[in-house]
Each structure stands twice: as C-alpha cells, then as structure tokens.
C-alpha cells in the first residue's frame, strides 16, 4: 500500500511539474505530422558592446524528435562565423553526472551576418540535433547543468543557471529544467 501511495504522489508531482505546451507549429498535412515548441532562452551574456544568446526549441516530425538550437551574437565589432557540420554535437551534462550527446543533422550551415540599423553586427546560427529514446528518458530524470556545443572549428561552453531573467524581454526562464518541463510536448 505504501508503494502504491508513493507511486501516486510521484505521478502527480510529475504531471503538475510539467509546463503547458506552447507551440509555434502543430499540424498534420499530406506530408506528415509536425509539432514545434516556442523558442526558450537558456543562455544570455552581456559584456561591454557584446551580447550572446542561445535559444532552444523542441520539434517532432513524423515521430522523429529533434532539438533546434539558435545562437545569436551581437557586437559593434566583427564577429567570425561559426559553422555546424555532420560532426557537430551538443553535449548536455546532467546534474546526476550523466552526459547526453545529440548529433547534428548531416547538413553544413554557417552563421549569417546581419547588420542592424544601430550599427551592430549580428551573427545568427540555426542547428538541428537528433534525440534518441534513451536521451529523452535521461533528460527527464535530471536537470541540465552545462552545455557544450561543438562547432566545425571550436567548442563553446555554457553554464546553465537555475533561473534567468532575460534583459531582452524581462521574462523569468528556468533553463536547467527546460527538458524536464517541456519534453512531454513532443511525445
């Protein structure tokens, strides 16, 4: 009886801990089924005239779950391009000590340089990384503490905070539990 009571409490905790799903796309057509969650800020850094942001969102296309990542760099100075290729990866270090590796799709793409009306250079890079069923189960079990993105020529590390109030939109984000809170949206 105690085990049943404990399972009930854990189930209710899991159900109520999950955030509601906010989709930017959710539909089925003649090609297949597609769902994509809203972008979520997991890293924001500001130093002098330089800023950088990392956004994630989750998608599922015909039962293939993916992590979409967008990095944005902003500076008054020149920003070198970053590229992703078939060898690029995202490493997610979990608080329980586990490390999850997500493989980039087999397409090479590099960041795009856009100059805004205030004279800032902006580099935008989008990448799509593949989950496995094991990755998803591990990500549901523990918060993320650290992310490493392996680009074509370098790797960048991001310490993932428990909470982050964005200077962009003054919204409170909880990056370390992003996967725990949102992976149910693409199941």
Q: Collapse the DSSP code of 177 into the 3-class scheme (helix H, G, I; strand E, B; otherwise coil) and give the result.
A: helix
pLDDT band at 30 (very low <50, low <70, confident <90, very high): confident
- φ, ψ dihedrals at 107, nearest 5°: -140, 135
**Which DSSP state fits 183?**
G
Look at residue 11 and give its three-state secondary structure.
helix
Mean pLDDT of 149-170: 96
Which pLDDT band holds residue 2 (cuts at 50, 70, 90)? Answer: very low
Confidence band for 27, pLDDT divided at 50, 70 and 90: confident
Residue 15 has pLDDT above 80, yes or no: no
In the chain, what are the domain boundaries? 22-186
pLDDT in tens, 90-126: 999 999 999 999 999 988 999 999 999 999 999 999 9
Percent of the chain with pLDDT over 70: 90
- pLDDT of 16 > 50? The answer is no
Query: Which carries the bigger pLDDT value, residue 128 or residue 13?
Result: 128
pLDDT at 76: 94
Rounded Cα–Cα distance for residues 156 and 187 (Å)? 29
CB 16, CB 149: distance < 8 Å: no
Query: Is the four-CA dihedral 81, 144, 178, 107 of positive or negative sign?
Result: positive
Around Cβ 76, how many Cβ atoms within 10 Å? 12
Residue 144, Cβ neighbours under 10 Å: how many?
21
User: What pLDDT is stored for residue 5 in this prediction?
Assistant: 44
Q: Is the pLDDT of residue 68 over 80?
A: yes
So what's the pLDDT on residue 17? Answer: 55
**pLDDT score of 19:** 80
Is pLDDT above 50 for 4? no
In degrees, rounded to 5, the angle at the alpha carbon of residue 132 between the alpha carbons of residues 129 and 136 is 95
Q: Which secondary structure element, helix H or strand E, spans residue 179, and what is its range?
A: helix 178-182
H/E stretch holding 24: strand 23-28
Average pLDDT, the chain: 90
pLDDT of residue 31: 83
Tell me: pLDDT of 157 over 90.
yes
């Amino acid at each position: 009886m105690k085990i049943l009571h404990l399972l009930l409490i854990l189930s209710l905790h899991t159900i109520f801990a999950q955030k509601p799903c906010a989709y930017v796309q959710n539909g089925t057509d003649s090609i297949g089924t597609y769902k994509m969650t809203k972008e979520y800020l997991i890293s924001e850094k500001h130093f002098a005239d330089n800023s950088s942001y990392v956004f994630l969102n989750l998608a599922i296309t015909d039962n293939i779950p993916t992590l979409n990542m967008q990095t944005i760099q902003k500076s008054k100075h020149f920003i070198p391009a970053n590229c992703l290729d078939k060898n690029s990866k995202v490493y997610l270090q979990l608080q329980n000590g586990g490390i999850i590796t997500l493989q980039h799709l087999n397409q090479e793409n590099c960041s795009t340089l856009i100059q805004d009306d205030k004279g800032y250079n902006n580099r935008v890079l989008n990448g799509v990384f593949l989950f496995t069923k094991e990755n998803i189960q591990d990500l549901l079990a523990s918060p993320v503490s650290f992310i490493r993105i392996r680009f074509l020529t370098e790797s960048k590390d991001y310490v993932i905070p428990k909470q982050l109030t964005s200077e962009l939109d003054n919204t409170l984000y909880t990056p370390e539990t992003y996967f725990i809170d949102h992976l149910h949206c693409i199941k």
